[in-house]
Amino acid sequence: MTLILHPGTGSAGVEVTCRKSPECLLTVMARLPNAPFPYEGMAGDSDQPFFDHRDPVSGQRFHTTGAGDLFPESPHYRDDRVLIHLPPTFQPRKPFAILVFFHGHGAEIHRTLVEEMELLRQVNASGRNLVLVAPQMALEAADSSPGKLWRPLGFARLLGDVNRVLHNRMGKKFAARFQKAPVILAAYSGGYRAAAFALDRGFDRKRRGRLQGVILLDALYGDLDKFDRWLRRPGRKFLVNLHAASTTPISLEFQQKLQARGQPWSDSLQRVSRAKSIHFLAVATPHEQVCQQGPPPWPLREILRQMGTRR
């Protein structure tokens, strides 16, 4: 891939392009106004400001995480990049879905997602007609804060920005279809909070049916009420939860909730993406290797491959 600077594209900013590469139809690194960061406001639904400390000498603002760690605004909460990827086999005239991936702690989206997790290659190898969207969350920080995604309709605004970028490259008709395409959320580790708030308040009541799937890669650390509330809503949807040691306790709690109301779930990846299709897979892989090793290896690829299989 070749890194080029596009000063005349407004919010598109820095673009990574590989139009002539066999690995993609289009890959863009865009700077978007409704990216999760920068963020101004309260910390979630609390009455505490997100930046709750200021250095009296430098004036630098800091955010205190739930674990008590203090991170400065720059560079951790100033990165507005969003990775957008269309696989080489993408067919814009055929039905497609939008896959939004939220990374975990200590991440930088190109190094972590493209190089280490091989996320683009996993999406390509799935064979699915997907638009991948991966925003930079807190940069290189042990923090799960979702930034602007805390706000009502924050997630919808982010997708609106992505649509404007694609409108310029794929055309008006494609942009109109993007506005109605089903959305699948995937999260690794600390990305669970962004996924939870996207489910909870990312769309208005009329459009929230677009959220049709959730893939958690050792990511169910909290906000169980939001995932459960989404699952209770009517409509076709699926949830796949790969859980290693650290997320097994809350995963078991979730299973107990489902059992209490008679909701079945599976411990395999068969028949993903049907009405109320729920899958819990316990894995023994170390947390930091789950996105690559699963099992199954390249788990996102394998889960995406299973989508749409018939009962």
**What are the distances in angstroms from CA 232 to CA 175, 200, 238, 240, 276?**
30, 12, 11, 15, 9
User: Which residue range forms the structural domain that includes residue 117?
Assistant: 2-40+79-306
How many residues would you count in the chain?
Answer: 311
Q: Is residue 61 part of a domain?
A: no
Closest by CA to 144, choosing from 111, 112, 188, is 188
pLDDT at site 105: 97
Closest by CA to 130, choosing from 191, 12, 213, 208, is 213
pLDDT band of 141, cuts 50, 70, 90: very high
CATH number of the domain within which 248 lies? 3.40.50.1820
pLDDT band of 1, cuts 50, 70, 90: very low
Neighbouring residues of 305: CB distance < 8 A, sequence distance ≥ 6:
126, 127, 128
Please say whether the beta carbons of 60 and 77 come within 8 A.
Answer: no
pLDDT reading at 236 higher than 70: yes
In whole numbers, what is the pLDDT of the chain averaged over residues?
Answer: 90
The pLDDT tens digits for 208-221 are 999 999 999 999 99
Distance CA 69, CA 66 (A): 7
Q: Is residue 64 part of a domain?
A: no
Distance CA 81, CA 113 (A): 13
Q: Is residue 225 part of a domain?
A: yes
Q: Is residue 103 part of a domain?
A: yes
pLDDT at site 20: 44
Share of the chain above pLDDT 90, in %: 83
- Mean pLDDT over residues 93-99, rounded? 96
- Mean pLDDT over residues 254-283, rounded? 87
Distance CA 251, CA 196 (A): 15
The alpha carbon of residue 206 and the mean position of all alpha carbons in its chain are separated, in whole angstroms, by: 21
pLDDT band of 4, cuts 50, 70, 90: very low
Q: Is residue 152 part of a domain?
A: yes
pLDDT band of 308, cuts 50, 70, 90: low
Distance CA 24, CA 2 (A): 12
Which residue is listed with tokens 């400001």? 49
- Mean pLDDT over residues 57-62, rounded? 95
pLDDT band of 19, cuts 50, 70, 90: very low
Global pTM value: 0.92
- Mean pLDDT over residues 72-86, rounded? 97
Q: Is residue 10 part of a domain?
A: yes
Q: Indicate the number of domains in the chain.
A: 1
Between vectors from CA 102 to CA 122 and to CA 2, what angle results, nearest 5°? 55
Of residues 57 and 12, the one with the higher pLDDT is 57
pLDDT at site 274: 57
Q: Is residue 55 part of a domain?
A: no
Closest by CA to 278, choosing from 261, 263, 265, 294, is 265
Least confident of 92-106, 149-163, 229-243, 262-276: 262-276
pLDDT at site 25: 79
Q: Is residue 16 part of a domain?
A: yes
